[in-house]
């Protein structure tokens, strides 16, 4: 497909998705320009009802970079065009919110796990690329996400205002759900279109919508979330510290009248009893609720809900079953968790060299994508 057609399709996707999940595009026309190859620096820039996209020679069909840039620049019609926030003072509310929507749109239309790169040998979601830029950054804790654009130190502006924001918005969506997240943005649009909302206005809308849709499920408001993610500098890292299946000593003695069934079973020769323990730790400062999936050797599973507040948490199961493996956040709701590798453990540990190799390839891709400023 010609790149111009790819870009037209991308604009239609973005228009459809944002109209449905945020609000209508209010203008009767839209112009986008794909600058010629010798003026590449004018690509990837936004003005209301006009933006420039970016294509290049030899862009293979499996690499959706032109689509990503097009969707991103179109998205600015909403985030700061319609929702006219102050990009210089609160870049997260402009670039970060827009990146969150760009990633959702790209992965929705071009593949949940392959939105950015869809090759038989390597698939990368737009969301994963963005997440890795945050979790791989050595400077992710130097400053909060609520900084003036000119104050970000050590080259952290892009990683913080684009990627960290998108990452905690995904995490918010993992906690409160997709429909609630969309409703937050619809309400933000209804209330603040063509006005000049600040970050606090967005937080207030989120608090109001979450309370309306979930009552007190997450507390009186979501400030505990925003204080840690938007206004804080901590990292989130939950890990499985250990797994133990301790065989219980068979009780001494014989079955007697009046013994419980459990004791009778424990005394019979055919069954072994175990004290099975999962040991979890919170290695980061950020406290978020997490699901914990425990899988036993008889294929039974238990999903625990940990509020994630204490420094450690043990779950103990006594019976005839042994734990085989455990996974924190099995549905990847908590995208802020900076280390997924320590989220699971099996009794016979599986090594994960494939994932490390993928990380290297993704770093290489990031290097490539970073040539384009969005």
Strand order in the sheet with 301-306: 301-306, 290-296, 323-328, 344-346
Decide whether 95 or 337 has the Cβ nearer to Zn ion: 95
The reply on whether position 159 binds Zn ion by CB under 5 A is no
Decide whether 69 or 266 has the Cβ nearer to Zn ion: 69
Decide whether 91 or 308 has the Cβ nearer to Zn ion: 91
Q: In the 8-state DSSP scheme, what is residue 92?
A: I
Helix (H, G, I), strand (E, B) or coil at 198: coil
HSE-CB at 219 with a 13 A cutoff on CA atoms is 11
The reply on whether position 97 binds Zn ion by CB under 5 A is no
The reply on whether position 209 binds Zn ion by CB under 5 A is no
Sole residue written with tokens 């290297």: 360
The reply on whether position 288 binds Zn ion by CB under 5 A is no
- CA–CA dist 211, 365 (Å, integer): 40
CB of 80 to Zn ion, least distance (A): 9
Q: Which stretch binds Zn ion (CB under 5 A): 61-69, 92-100, 104-112, 282-290?
A: 92-100
Token representation of residue 162: 């684009």
Residue 194 near residue 128, CB atoms below 8 Å: no
Question: Binders of Zn ion: how many residues, by CB under 5 A?
Answer: 2
The reply on whether position 82 binds Zn ion by CB under 5 A is no
* Beta pairing, strands 238-247 & 301-306: unpaired
Decide whether 116 or 294 has the Cβ nearer to Zn ion: 116
Residue 323 near residue 245, CB atoms below 8 Å: yes
Identified binder of Zn ion from the candidate list 10, 205, 222, 374, rule CB under 5 A: 374
CB of 98 to Zn ion, least distance (A): 5
Q: In the 8-state DSSP scheme, what is residue 79?
A: I
Decide whether 48 or 268 has the Cβ nearer to Zn ion: 48
Beta bridge partners of residue 32, listed in sequence order: 51
Closest residue to Zn ion, judged by C-beta, is 374
What does the binding site for Zn ion look like in residue numbers (CB under 5 A)? 95, 374
């Amino acid at each position: 497909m010609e790149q111009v057609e790819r870009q037209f399709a991308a604009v239609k996707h973005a228009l459809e998705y944002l109209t449905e999940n945020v609000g209508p595009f209010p203008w009767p026309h839209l112009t986008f320009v794909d600058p010629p190859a010798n003026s590449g620096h004018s690509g990837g820039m936004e003005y209301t009802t006009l933006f420039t996209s970016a294509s290049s020679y030899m862009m293979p069909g499996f690499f959706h970079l032109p689509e990503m840039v097009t969707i991103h620049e179109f998205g600015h019609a909403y985030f700061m065009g319609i929702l006219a926030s102050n990009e210089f003072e609160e870049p997260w509310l402009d670039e970060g919110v827009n990146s969150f929507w760009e990633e959702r749109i790209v992965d929705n239309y071009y593949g949940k796990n392959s939105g950015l790169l869809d090759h038989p040998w390597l698939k990368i979601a737009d969301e994963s690329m963005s997440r890795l830029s945050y979790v791989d950054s050595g400077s992710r804790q130097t400053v909060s996400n609520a900084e003036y654009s000119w104050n970000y130190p050590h080259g952290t502006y892009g990683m913080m205002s684009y990627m960290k924001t998108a990452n905690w918005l995904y995490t918010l969506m993992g906690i409160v759900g997709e429909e609630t997240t969309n409703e937050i943005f619809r309400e933000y649009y209804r209330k603040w279109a063509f006005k000049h909302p600040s970050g606090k206005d967005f937080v207030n809308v989120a608090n109001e919508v979450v309370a309306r849709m979930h009552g007190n499920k997450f507390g009186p408001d979501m400030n505990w979330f925003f204080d840690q993610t938007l206004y804080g500098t901590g990292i989130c890292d939950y890990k499985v510290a250990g797994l133990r299946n301790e065989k219980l000593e068979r009780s001494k003695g014989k079955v007697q009248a009046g013994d419980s069934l459990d004791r009778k079973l424990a005394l019979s020769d055919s069954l072994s009893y175990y004290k099975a323990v999962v040991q979890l730790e919170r290695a980061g400062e950020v406290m978020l609720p997490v699901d914990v999936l425990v899988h036993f050797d008889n294929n039974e599973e238990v999903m625990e809900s940990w509020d994630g507040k204490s420094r450690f948490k043990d779950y103990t199961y006594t019976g005839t079953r042994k734990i085989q493996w455990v996974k924190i956040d099995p549905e990847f709701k908590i995208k802020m968790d900076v280390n997924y590798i320590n989220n699971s453990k099996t009794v016979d540990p599986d090594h994960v060299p494939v994932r490390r190799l993928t990380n290297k390839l993704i770093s290489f891709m990031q290097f490539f994508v970073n040539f384009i400023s969005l």
